[in-house]
A and B are shown apart, each in its own frame.
Chain A
Amino acid sequence: MSPVHVFADRVTKKFGEVVAVSSLSLSVEQGQFLTILGPSGCGKTTLLRMMAGFEEPTSGRIYLGGQDITFVPPHKRPANLVFQRYALFPHLTVFENVAFGLRVKKIAEKEVQRRVERILALVQLEGFGKRQVNQLSGGQAQRVALARALVNEPQVLLLDEPLGALDLKIRQQMEVELKLLHAELGMTFIYVTHDQEEAMTVSNRIVVMRAGQIVQDGTPEEIYANPASTFVADFIGHSNLLQATVLQTAPSHLSFLGGSYSARHHPGLREGQAVNILLRPEVLRVFGDAPEGFENVLKGRIVDATFKGPYVDYLVEVGEARLTAHHSVREGVSTFNRGDAIFLAWSQDDALILSS
Chain B
Amino acid sequence: MVNTNTVQLRRPIRIPWLYIYSVLVIIYLFFPIGIIVLFSFNSSPAVSFPIRGFSLRWYMEVLESPVFLAALKNSLVVAVFTTFFCLSLGTLAALALTRYRFRFRPFVQSLFLMPLSLPGLFLGISLLTYFISLNLRLSLGTVVVGHVIYTLPYFVLVATARLERFDRVLEEAAQDLGCTPWQTFWKVNFPIIAPSMIGAALIVFALSFDEFLITFFVIGPESTLPMLVWSMMRKSIDPSVNAISVVLMLASLLLILFLSKVVDISEIEF
A57 to chain B, nearest CB (A): 18
Which A residues are CB-close (under 8 A) to B183?
Answer: 104
Whether A314 is near chain B, meaning CB under 8 Å from some CB there, is no
What is the 8 Å Cβ interface bit string for chain A, positions 71-91, against chain B (1 contact, 0 not)?
001110000110101011111
Whether B179 is near chain A, meaning CB under 8 Å from some CB there, is yes
Give the interface of B toward A (CB within 8 A): 167, 169-170, 172-180, 183, 187-188, 191-192
Inter-subunit contact A75/B175 (CB<8 Å): yes
Inter-subunit contact B179/A80 (CB<8 Å): no
Whether A110 is near chain B, meaning CB under 8 Å from some CB there, is no
A268 to chain B, nearest CB (A): 46
Which A residues are CB-close (under 8 A) to B174?
Answer: 89, 100
Question: Given contacts A104-B183, A104-B187, are A89 and B178 in contact (CB under 8 A)?
Answer: no
Which A residues are CB-close (under 8 A) to B169?
Answer: 83, 85, 87
B176 to chain A, nearest CB (A): 5
Q: Which residue of A lies closest to B184 (CB)?
A: A75
Whether A54 is near chain B, meaning CB under 8 Å from some CB there, is yes
Inter-subunit contact A83/B192 (CB<8 Å): no
Whether A148 is near chain B, meaning CB under 8 Å from some CB there, is yes
Q: By CB atoms of chain A within 10 A, which of B173, B175, B176 has the most?
A: B176
Interface size class of A (residues with CB under 8 A): 20 to 34
Which B residues are CB-close (under 8 A) to A100?
Answer: 174, 177, 187
The distance in angstroms between the C-alpha atoms of A118 and B206, with both chains bound, is 49
The distance in angstroms between the C-alpha atoms of A88 and B191, with both chains bound, is 14
Whether A139 is near chain B, meaning CB under 8 Å from some CB there, is no
Q: Which of B170, B175, B176, B180 contacts A89 (CB 8 A)?
A: B170
* Interface majority SS (helix, strand, loop, mixed), chain A: loop
Give the interface of A toward B (CB within 8 A): 52-54, 73-75, 80-81, 83, 85, 87-91, 100-101, 104-105, 148-149, 152
Inter-subunit contact A75/B173 (CB<8 Å): no
List 13 interface pairs A-B (beta carbons < 8 Å), by A numbering. Answer: A54-B172, A75-B176, A75-B177, A75-B179, A75-B180, A80-B177, A83-B169, A89-B170, A89-B174, A90-B192, A100-B187, A101-B178, A149-B177
The distance in angstroms between the C-alpha atoms of A87 and B171, with both chains bound, is 9
Q: Which residue of A lies closest to B172 (CB)?
A: A54
The distance in angstroms between the C-alpha atoms of A74 and B187, with both chains bound, is 16
Inter-subunit contact B176/A74 (CB<8 Å): yes
Which A residues are CB-close (under 8 A) to B180?
Answer: 75
Q: Which residue of A lies closest to B183 (CB)?
A: A104
The distance in angstroms between the C-alpha atoms of A75 and B188, with both chains bound, is 14
Inter-subunit contact B177/A83 (CB<8 Å): no
Q: Which of A81, A88, A105 contacts B178 (CB 8 A)?
A: A105
Inter-subunit contact B178/A75 (CB<8 Å): yes
B235 to chain A, nearest CB (A): 53
